[in-house]
Structure 1
């Protein structure tokens, strides 16, 4: 059975800006691949074999693609699925998309004389922290160059919300969601499972902290404290980014405690500007552009 070590390395023991339910689904899907049985998370379906293969191979495929759709002078950039630092596809493939692809598409739209405005069509639970905030800064700093609008179709959670917040305006459908401004890091302790299976792992290392967070030993208190410090620092960066982008107090953003907000509740808290169906939001943008 293939163990998908590359996929595991991108999910466990690294900070993620992802809706917790999505994180649980991925963790559950991967657990069986490690021979340690199912992780008992409620709800959700495992990743398809195609998605698992794509995750392991880093997203390579043979599709030739244009970077975005151009509709009446508006570049519509698809931001959907789980977000990762790098992918080789300019559009979402097998449920995933790289920040590098979004950056490429966004810069191409900025430099395209036929583009008068940019709309990010977002439906994502979030994803990896790495690469997210640099992209959010780029979009925020480009506001004066061309109008930018985040059209949620349906949700923008966590890292996806960080990107949405960088746009000048955000619209959300009645049943869509915003928020989850937080960071999560999942650690798996397989030591008991290994012991029950009759395996003993000896880790030979140079440097006392070299093996911190390994799956073959229980997580030590000092290692947990260090990881928590890193997560807290990234969480504060997330709060500061959203506060700047949305012109909100950092205390207001922090006080949400990574809560998600449905439809109008996101507008009320300041995480979105209007409740609109995606097609209505696009027509409104075209009307504003004249």
Structure 2
């Protein structure tokens, strides 16, 4: 019966584990790994692990061990396989965050993965806590599946050159064997046919596949956010369920840099200012309350990707910078608006002055003697162009000559018929002859370089004859 319960536990859970580890756990549950009693296995493996991970503090750095299979609660599986419960891990992490003597936290990971149940809650706790203190995942052996989910939630992932990392995905495994003479009957309620899925049927397998894929979606989305990369990059470059070793994991963007545990402790404890190993990933840092916060940026990242990484890894700093940036932007926009307005006003004034000067010059360019008053009026009205002024001057010139000839033709002398001289002694005026004589005078003066109007020539002729 104990064996049956153990197998039911394995089959009822979704696991984020490499297939080989899941097979070993199944073999242990079936007593197939080694003949003998269950206690013999634990005796062979040495001291049994405590329910909570071992935690030690060095130079203000809390080391929280994440070893073996990860499950939600401590159980007999920890005693057999070694392991970590997220229940105990959460308590250890919270205690380290709240301890004023602890300046940074290292999750010291060597785990093939484990149970999905409770894992997302643990990863979220890590992700939300890294704003309070620097939390670094150090991978010295394995950080696969469930273990990598938690590692990605840390502020930074540091990996040993020989360590293994990845296996992003979920799995549900089943092994069907005869009941060996024992028969078990279950009757499922009519409205709950999916309560007992049969993976040996197409429908049952499809239903299980949907559950596994849904869990994988949560896993991939979490890794994408935690590592500050696009979901498509996780799908394409993070192994598709496979794993990478050391530098290759860094190159793929799944870890931030190579390093050693002792070097990391020295760095976080303030005994060493730089990491022991250089990496291909670019790491910037921001300062907050006297401590250094790492900002991990993929090589060749765009400005938008840098902003997204800052928002993901240090949301409080991002919010503060964004608020400052918004205020600075508003100030800059207002200053730019005022500057542009002043510049535009000056430019408009200059253009207006130039245009008005050009207009006035064009008006004076078409002036004629005898029309000075009209020219001045047109120049000062602020709207008449040179062409319009010329038209008005020509019209005035024509009207002036016509009016003079009309007035001259209607004098008393011109009203007397057949007489060469009026009673007043004035000679009669021949309008046509006068006009011809005036035109001749205008042409003659023009030949000399003098410019006179028809009306002026008429006055000059009449003045000479009076």
TM-score calculated relative to the size of structure 2: 0.52
Aligned to 1:41: none
Q: Deviation per CA, 1:7-30: give whole Å up to 9, x if none.
A: 323311421011222112112233
Aligned to 1:268: 251
1:29-68 pair list within 5 angstroms: 29-31=28-30, 33=31, 49-50=38-39, 68=55
Task: Report SS of the residue matched to 1:125.
Answer: strand
Q: Return the alpha-carbon distance in structure 1 between the equivalents of residues 22 and 125 of structure 2.
A: 26
Pick the aligned partner of 1:143 from 94, 119, 130: 130
Flag the structure with larger Rg. 2
1:51-200 pair list within 5 angstroms: 68-87=55-74, 95-190=82-177, 193-194=178-179, 197-198=180-181, 200=183
The structure-2 alpha-carbon separation of the partners of 1:155 and 1:220, relative to structure 1 and needing over 3 Å to count, comes to same
Shift of 1:248: 1.4
Task: Report SS of the residue matched to 1:77.
Answer: strand
Cα pair 1:7 1:52 within 8 Å, conserved: no
TM-score calculated relative to the size of structure 1: 0.81
The structure-2 alpha-carbon separation of the partners of 1:21 and 1:113, relative to structure 1 and needing over 3 Å to count, comes to same
Is the counterpart of residue 233 in structure 1 residue 233 in structure 2? no
Aligned to 1:7: 6
Cα pair 1:148 1:169 within 8 Å, conserved: yes
Uncovered stretches (5+) of structure 1, i.e. residues with no partner? 39-44, 55-60
Task: Report SS of the residue matched to 2:244.
Answer: strand
Is the counterpart of residue 250 in structure 1 residue 249 in structure 2? no
Q: Deviation per CA, 1:109-137: give whole Å up to 9, x if none.
A: 11111111111110000100001111101
Q: Return the alpha-carbon distance in structure 2 between the equivalents of residues 258 and 11 of structure 1.
A: 20
Uncovered stretches (5+) of structure 2, i.e. residues with no partner? 274-290, 293-466
Q: Return the alpha-carbon distance in structure 2 between the equivalents of residues 65 and 93 of structure 1.
A: 12
Shift of 1:278: 2.2
Q: Deviation per CA, 1:90-122: give whole Å up to 9, x if none.
A: xx7651110011100000111111111111110
Q: Deviation per CA, 1:53-108: give whole Å up to 9, x if none.
A: 89xxxxxx89697962111111111111111111289xx76511100111000001
Aligned to 1:210: 195
Structure with higher helix content: 2
Q: Return the alpha-carbon distance in structure 1 between the equivalents of residues 125 and 157 of structure 2.
A: 17
RCO higher in 1 or 2 (8 Å CA, sep ≥ 6)? 1
